[in-house]
Amino acid sequence: MVTSHRPWAEPYRIKMVELLRVTTREDRESALREAGWNTFLLRSDMVAIDLLTDSGTNAMSDRQWSAMMLGDEAYAGSASYYRLEAAIKRRYGYAHVVPTHQGRGAEHLLSHMLVKQGDVVPGNMYFTTTRAHQELAGGRFEDVVIDEAHDPSSEHPFKGNVDLAKLERLIERVGARRIPYVCVAATVNMAGGQPISLENLRAVRALTKRHGISVYLDATRAMENAFFIVEREPGQGHRTLADVLHEMCSLSDGCTMSAKKDLLVNIGGFLALNDATLADEARNLGVLFEGLHTYGGLAGRDLEAMAVGIEEALDPAHMRARIGQVRYVADALAASGVPIVKPTGGHAVFLDARAFLPHLSQDAFPAQALAAELYLEGSVRSMERGIVSAGRDPDSGEHRRPRLELVRLTFPRRVYTQAHCDVVVDTVQRVLARAPQIRGLRMVHEPRHLRFFQARFAPL
Ligand SMILES: *Cc1c(COP(=O)(O)O)cnc(C)c1O
């Protein structure tokens, strides 16, 4: 008798395929040289398993594709906008919705409205575009995540939690008037897709309320966060993802959203708010930066795909398979001695490049070098999350030196099969076997903004 202990299988079947190019090691060596050892600069047709990001790389369902045919492309008052607005109000619960072309569009509007010169925006770890927009508006980001988030070996179940004492001290130090809002990410991308607990979110809300400070959620992966709350937070196991998501949002004044993650689409985002005056201002600014407030830089069909995606993403079978796939790879890697960040987060497996390449100093860009080697070895594309991503301090001009030097293997939703996952595991194991021979890199071109996207390197 065959028994299966496999708790889940992909809750979909494939009815259209995208063919992949098979490359040789020589092909990949020349592609990497052309790309300046930066995986962001590789041409995607030279990549077999693309784990660069889960952003906009999701496979849409037949229902989403059908909904796209119903897109109302009216410049103003599109019916598609009203369908999306209703879906967001229902599931996220905010009163006002301003669509934006993607997450950073929403961050731009929010920062522009709320952050003034000299302000401080506390957050549970920085995110690249979020912090960039806070700084562009004249503010400064302050990290108030718990210390465990910076420790790749910590098994804390909610490494995305805000350290309430750090937040309280910061408020005392700079004064509540200098803090336009606290930016709470759920899950925390830069800590490895780590969730924040409902208990912590409630406590953040209570603390900030006492000081009259608003809370804005980065809801980009809030549904994945809700999955972890249901799975591991005491007293939450009986709840639905939708119910938990709704409560999470109710503990904030609004959210910025990159729909390219949770919502199973290829483009889109929104800013959602409860305050009517601010919402009016956001709609007005949106006209300058995004497009009229009923399309926000998107086509009507994109709004339709998001509206359907909201419901599909809240299906527990979807989320179990989505997070299950990430865990499958993480568990296989950990079992064979590959140093990874624990516990495994929602969207990615993070390799600990410092432990993987202990002979390289941070100035030799170990995570950048490891990402390049994974591509050479198995045509697997990953990305650096370390000193290159952290950029330079705007005041001192020095490299920011994050403790974490990571390589991110990020899983697009509903795209790859378990066999692809096995190839990924095998690739990482092969690179680990020859790790002592891997040389570091030097940066030969450094762009001013978000340098990790376009920087170029050469082997040391
Ligand atoms: C992707 C992302 C953003 C930015 O969204 P874009 O759609 O890429 O502009 C903001 N916050 C988090 C946590 C993200 O993962």
Q: Is 269 in the pocket of ligand 1 (CB under 6 A)?
A: yes
Q: Are 167 and 123 in contact (CB under 8 A)?
A: no
Q: State which of 53, 101, 107, 220 you would mutate to test the pocket of ligand 1, scoring each by most atoms of that ligand within 8 A of its C-beta.
A: 220
Question: 151 pLDDT exceeds 50?
Answer: yes
Token representation of residue 144: 């108030």
pTM above 0.85, yes or no: yes
Q: What separation in Å is there between the alpha carbon of 275 and the centre of ligand 1?
A: 23
**Residues 63-67: what's their mean pLDDT?**
98
Q: Give start-end residues of each CATH 3.40.640.10 domain in the chain.
A: 62-313
Distances (CA, A) of 159 to 85, 198, 396: 32, 13, 29
Q: Is 127 in the pocket of ligand 1 (CB under 6 A)?
A: yes
Q: Are 458 and 441 in contact (CB under 8 A)?
A: yes
Q: Is 412 in the pocket of ligand 1 (CB under 6 A)?
A: no
- Least confident window among 304-313, 336-345, 423-432: 336-345
Question: 1 pLDDT exceeds 70?
Answer: no
Q: Is 261 in the pocket of ligand 1 (CB under 6 A)?
A: yes
| Nearest CA, atom 1, ligand 1 | 258
Give the per-residue SS3 of the chain.
CCCCCCCCCCCCCCCCCCCCCCCCHHHHHHHHHHCCCCHHHCCHHHCCEECCCCCCCCCCCHHHHHHHHCCCCCCCCCHHHHHHHHHHHHHCCCCEEEEECCHHHHHHHHHHHHCCCCCEEEECCCCHHHHHHHHHCCCEEEECECHHHHCCCCCCCCCCCECHHHHHHHHHHHCHHHCCEEEEECCEHHHCCECCCHHHHHHHHHHHHHHCCEEEEECCCHHHHHHHHHHHCCCCCCCCHHHHHHHHHHCCCEEEEECCCCCCCCCCEEEEECCHHHHHHHHHHHHHHCCCCCCCCCCHHHHHHHHHHHHHHCCHHHHHHHHHHHHHHHHHHHHCCCCECCCCCCCEEEEEHHHHCCCCCHHHCHHHHHHHHHHHHHCEECEEECHHHHCECCCCCCECCCCCCEEEEECCCCCCCHHHHHHHHHHHHHHHHCHHHCCCEEEEECCCCCHHHCCEEEEC
The Cα angle at residue 168 between residues 192 and 148, in degrees rounded to 5: 25
CATH class belonging to 25-54+316-459:
alpha beta
pLDDT bucket at 4, cuts 50 / 70 / 90: low
What's phi and psi for 55, nearest 5 deg? Answer: -90, 110
| Nearest CA, atom 4, ligand 1 | 103
The Cα angle at residue 33 between residues 28 and 34, in degrees rounded to 5: 95
Q: What separation in Å is there between the alpha carbon of 433 and the centre of ligand 1?
A: 34
| Nearest CA, atom 3, ligand 1 | 103
* Tens-digit pLDDT profile for residues 18-40: 999 999 999 999 999 999 999 99
Q: Give start-end residues of each CATH 3.90.1150.10 domain in the chain.
A: 25-54+316-459
Q: Is 270 in the pocket of ligand 1 (CB under 6 A)?
A: no
| C-alpha span between 290 and 91 (Å, rounded) | 24
Q: Among candidates 237, 262, 245, which has minimal Cα distance to 102?
A: 262
Distances (CA, A) of 50 to 15, 41, 375: 20, 13, 10
Question: 433 pLDDT exceeds 50?
Answer: yes
Q: State which of 52, 57, 125, 129 you would mutate to test the pocket of ligand 1, scoring each by most atoms of that ligand within 8 A of its C-beta.
A: 129
> Which atom in ligand 1 lies closest to the alpha carbon of residue 102?
7
Q: What is the pLDDT of residue 5?
A: 63
Q: What separation in Å is there between the alpha carbon of 221 and the centre of ligand 1?
A: 9
Q: Are 50 and 381 in contact (CB under 8 A)?
A: yes
| Nearest CA, atom 12, ligand 1 | 220
* Tens-digit pLDDT profile for residues 328-382: 999 999 999 999 988 999 999 999 999 999 999 999 999 999 999 999 999 999 9
First vs last C-alpha separation in the chain? 56
**Residues 33-49: what's their mean pLDDT?**
98
Mean pLDDT of the chain: 96
Question: 3 pLDDT exceeds 80?
Answer: no
* Tens-digit pLDDT profile for residues 386-423: 999 999 998 999 999 998 899 999 999 999 999 999 99
Token representation of residue 230: 């249901």
* Tens-digit pLDDT profile for residues 170-192: 999 999 999 999 999 999 988 88
* Cα 135 to chain centroid, rounded: 19
Which amino acid is residue 426, in one-letter code? D
Q: For residue 176, give every residue at least 6 positions away whose Cβ sits within 8 Å of its Cβ, in sequence order, or none.
A: 211, 212, 213
Taking phi over 0 as left and psi of -120 to 50 as alpha, with beta for the rest, 358 belongs to alpha
Q: Are 109 and 137 in contact (CB under 8 A)?
A: no
**Burial category of 423 from C-beta neighbours within 10 Å (exposed 0-12, middle 13-18, buried 19 and up):** middle
Give the rounded percent of residues in the chain with a pLDDT score beyond 70: 98
CATH class belonging to 62-313:
alpha beta
| C-alpha span between 260 and 241 (Å, rounded) | 19
Question: 226 pLDDT exceeds 70?
Answer: yes
Dihedral, CA of residue 162, residue 253, residue 250 and residue 155, to nearest 10: -20
Q: What separation in Å is there between the alpha carbon of 247 and the centre of ligand 1?
A: 22
Give the active site residues: 75, 127-128, 218, 261, 385, 452
Q: Is 189 in the pocket of ligand 1 (CB under 6 A)?
A: yes
Q: For residue 17, give every residue at least 6 positions away whose Cβ sits within 8 Å of its Cβ, in sequence order, or none.
A: none
| Nearest CA, atom 10, ligand 1 | 103
